[in-house]
Amino acid sequence: MKDQVDALCANGIAAGLINSTLSQGEITDVMEQVREGSVKILYIAPERFAVPGFESFLRALNIGLIAVDEAHCISEWGHDFRPDYRNLRSLRSKFPRVPIIALTATATEKVREDIVKQLNIEAAKVFISSFNRPNLSYEVLPKKDSIKTVISLLSSYKDESSIIYCFSRNDTEKLVTELKKYGFKAAAYHAGLNPKTRKENQEKFIRDEIDIMVATIAFGMGIDKPDVRLVIHHGLPKSIEGYYQETGRAGRDGLPARCVLLFSRADKFKHDYFIRAITDKIEREKAEQKLESVLAYGTLFGCRRRFLLRYFDEGYDKKNCGNCDGCVKQAPLEMHAMPRKVVKQKVARTAVSGNAHGNALFEALRAIRTQEAQRLSVPPYIIFGDKTLKEMVAHLPQTSAEFLEINGVGDQKLAKFGELFMGAIRRYEEVNNKASERDC
């Protein structure tokens, strides 16, 4: 919630949140701002409806829209059912004149039908955009000597953000310990950590203080970090919906990103243990079917993108998607020499020929972004995403009009950061021009 509120406020949109991280005094302040109209968008969790007096507070407002995000959580057919979402069933009757919109990125046809039913919005229009994420590549590698494989993958994405999903809390801790031995900046996230540590680790990842988050499925919902370049599944996901949602945390800025599943049939037995413990026969059969779909994906010969899209009832007629290991012969995974243990020097980015100057400017802009983010106590992407910085490098804007032409720049960000970033671009141009004159 906080990340989304920070992003809205950075763009001049008055937003606030109420959740358990706030003190009662802070909650009272936010409620007063909502009453006064100085906060236009309010984020809350479904659990908030159970707090005495909160519903009365909402009834006294002139609400223009209720948006239910992650709406698949209301459906028992969804992969991430949360009982507290069922509290939202009464929204239609309690706020009959307020428009309701339900949103999710991972819903099969059956789940979509159930969302409509559970929210009592049977007359609702249903809009379905494509599930296809063309910038994501999909591949499956054997889970053999997995530490070497993981380190080789991470070595190809130095100083880039990566997420590694593991089966258990113990697996995450072991992998973090191993990665730290080789100098990687990694942290764990799982339900067994105390809330303070979980929050600190998440914020370090969001703020680019660490590059790698090693997590169970407890991590990720609501994470809007746009520049995750690599998602590795170190264990078998329990459903295609979960796998699609977790891989979907890569490449949200539209730039290329890689999704790798380390596959071993032995991982199925870990899931079988928990599935056998499900007492409800129908629930147990659903879990078995979902796991079988994951096994089918892992052993697939053919287009992985087509498999995923068809799972979500979307047709895909292309014979070759051009971005999965079933359609394009993958270059052999380069097994980098294992880094020396406990060597914690930062490896400088390298560039070739004509890209060197551009990379130097990109790194300079990234450094400015990091400094501003630290000054304002917000994640770096709230200032500008990588995609925006790369456009600056490509177009070298030096006037307000040119800066506004860059994707991700609006009037608010021009006013706040324009001169800072354009100043860096001007200095870069001056140095570059002087170097060119000397070469002549």
Question: Average pLDDT in the 192-208 region?
Answer: 92
pLDDT band with cut points at 50, 70 and 90 for residue 346: very low
Please tell me the distance from the alpha carbon of residue 140 to that of residue 132, in angstroms, as a whole number: 18
In this prediction, residue 334 carries a pLDDT of 61
User: For position 250, what pLDDT does the model report?
Assistant: 96
Domain positions in the chain are 2-118, 136-311, 355-439
Same fold, 136-311 and 355-439: no
What is the pTM for the complete model shown?
Answer: 0.83
Domain 355-439 classified CATH 3.30.70.1350?
no
- Give the pLDDT of residue 332: 63
- Residues in the chain, overall count: 440
Q: For 2-118, give the CATH class.
A: alpha beta
Nearest to 171 by CA among 150, 196, 199, 141: 150
Q: What is the DSSP string of 1-37?
A: -HHHHHHHHHTT--EEEESTTS-HHHHHHHHHHHHHT
Give per-residue burial for 115-134: e unless 16+ CB within 10 Å, then b: bbebbebeeeeeeeeebbbe
Residue 422 pLDDT greater than 70, yes or no: yes
User: Does the pLDDT of residue 57 top 50, yes or no?
Assistant: yes
Yes or no: domain 136-311 corresponds to CATH 3.40.50.300:
yes
